[in-house]
Amino acid sequence: NFQQPKPLKLAAATSAHLVANLDSPNGWTRDTAARLLYERQDRRAVAELDALLGRSRSALGRMHALHALQGLFALETKHLVAGLADSDERVREHAVRLSEAAIIGAGGSGPLAAKLLGMTGDLSPRVRQQLAFTLGDVRSPARPKALADIIRRDVESTWMQAAVLSSLTDGAGEVFTTLAHDL
């Protein structure tokens, strides 16, 4: 008694309908809606993406909203801060990654950089690993301590070691000194 569902015709959908489909449980639907939003570059979708980011019960929907905002060149600090405070580790991880352009644009400092520096105690190893990579773009005297905090917690993880080392273009001596005091 299987009933074939009617196929979605997203190519003709309005931007509002595409944004609503970012919240779909179907991966193809989410990906196609996100692609079409990017291709159209319809700035009228920004307000709806902002609303979706705040109201979606789906972590994937919130994550797609962040990326769609970035694709429309409308991703703002307020969106990133919301993503960094999200209850789902995948959303936080992607928000950390998406923060890199804003951090670089601000010269490696500012309130977003400060927020990232305060996230070293995140419960998710995925978030901490992405944070270790992203902190390489932060220019702050607090960066070596933050990287030391991450590696101290995940010292056995070769992946975390690589992430921290990749962010130590400078400040390696400070991190070593900080960790040496633990012995």
In the chain, alpha helices (H): 15-21, 27-40, 46-55, 59-71, 77-84, 89-105, 111-117, 125-134, 143-153, 158-166, 172-180
Q: What is the pLDDT of residue 170?
A: 80
Distances (CA, A) of 180 to 61, 145, 165: 43, 12, 16
pLDDT given at position 169? 80
Under 8 Å between Cβ of 153 and 128: yes
pTM of the model: 0.89
Q: From CA 22, how far away is CA 64, in angstroms rounded?
A: 6
Q: Per-residue confidence of the chain (183 residues) as pLDDT tens digits? A: 899 888 788 999 999 999 999 999 999 999 999 999 999 999 999 999 999 999 999 999 999 999 999 999 999 999 999 999 999 999 999 999 999 999 999 988 899 999 999 999 999 999 999 999 999 999 999 998 999 999 999 989 999 999 999 998 887 788 878 778 876
* CB count in 10 Å sphere of residue 28: 10
With H, G, I as helix, E, B as strand and everything else as coil, classify residue 96: helix
pLDDT of residue 7: 79
Q: And the tokens for 21?
A: 């489909």
